[in-house]
Structure 1
Amino acid sequence: MTPAAHPYQATCVEIDGRGLLILGPSGSGKSSLALSLIDRGARLVGDDSLLVEERDGRLLAGPHPNTRGLLEIRNLGLLAFPCAQVVAVALAVVLDPAAPRYIEEASSLDLCGAAIPSLALCPHDSVLPLKAELALRRFGLGAGLSQ
């Protein structure tokens, strides 16, 4: 990350080279979703604290140096995980109990001057990690490209 990077409160994992930004209020399950995705092969970028910047129209996310490689797991504390350096964010998911049942297309989120697709997912769903992966494949930047 360059000195132009800004701190941002969110969680991010890297799946097949693309970043999945996880947003939601404290206690909504951002870290739990990240842990489930890591168990399915994702790699941690940052938990609850990232550095983000726009570069060439893309949103880049990297770990904050104070929390690099750490994931907060409720009832266990901060645990160390392998961590990606920087990833281009392809999709933002917002954990929201009022998420719509059906969407035809993703919304857009502007962060640091970069527009990324965004959609809401209900956090209390037993298949939430699978839904997040499917959302990345269907709505994320670069969807349909061979990975």
Structure 2
Amino acid sequence: MIAHAGLVAAYIDGCWRGVLIEGPSGVGKSDLALRALDQGFRLVADDRVVLWACEGSLYGRAPETLSGLIEARGVGVCREPAIAFCRIALAVRCEQHERMPEPAFTDYVGLSIPTISLQPLESSAPAKLRRALQHLGAWAEEAYLDPLAAGVSPRPGGDSR
């Protein structure tokens, strides 16, 4: 499956954890990815992400023709050191968001991934990515323990231990 999205990753607790950044064209996905790169994230893919499932986890990579490239509006397409692929622990929708959202998941190739909404052009958006990745993506099952007790049962697919 190919998603119209970006993918960045952070090295947390000994492994790369990916954040899939989705939204309509022109919303600021690449802008958010560029600012995340300046905050220590690494590029995996910009604009298009090849998604696949393996042993209950979701993975992503750039199509070969786009590997190591990111678009910076007003500058053009730039080369950026990239990692080849990573496990996706969190999805981000670039849209208006609630102050205290309910737990949400998005299905990709049969797997449910924790999902948050962010306004990509907010100055705090890269910091929110890291915090959400640490909180939700690092141990998704624990992050939503209370909703699970309430009967919400997501399928596996987040970056669990």
TM-score of the aligned structures, taking structure 1 as reference length: 0.88
CA distance in 1, matches of 2:100, 2:22: 19
Counterpart residue number, 1:126: 123
CA distance in 1, matches of 2:69, 2:111: 26
In structure 2, the gaps of 5 or more residues are: 143-158
Higher alpha-carbon Rg:
2
**Matched-pair identity in %:** 36
Say if 2:83 is the partner of 1:84.
Answer: yes
CA distance in 2, matches of 1:73, 1:53: 27
- State the secondary structure of the residue aligned to 2:64: coil
Counterpart residue number, 1:63: 62
1:124 deviates by: 3.5
TM-score of the aligned structures, taking structure 2 as reference length: 0.81
1:20–1:93 Cα contact (<8 Å) kept? yes
CA distance in 2, matches of 1:39, 1:125: 15
What pairs with 1:1-147 in structure 2 (closer than 5 Å)?
A: 6-16=1-11, 17-96=16-95, 98-103=96-101, 105-142=102-139
1:117–1:141 Cα contact (<8 Å) kept? no
CA distance in 1, matches of 2:26, 2:54: 31
1:141 deviates by: 4.1
CA distance in 1, matches of 2:41, 2:17: 10
Residues 1:67 and 1:12: Cα distance change in structure 2 (over 3 Å): same
1:81 deviates by: 0.4
CA distance in 2, matches of 1:55, 1:141: 18
1:88 deviates by: 0.5
In structure 1, the gaps of 5 or more residues are: 1-5
- Displaced runs of 4 or more, over 2 A: 141-145
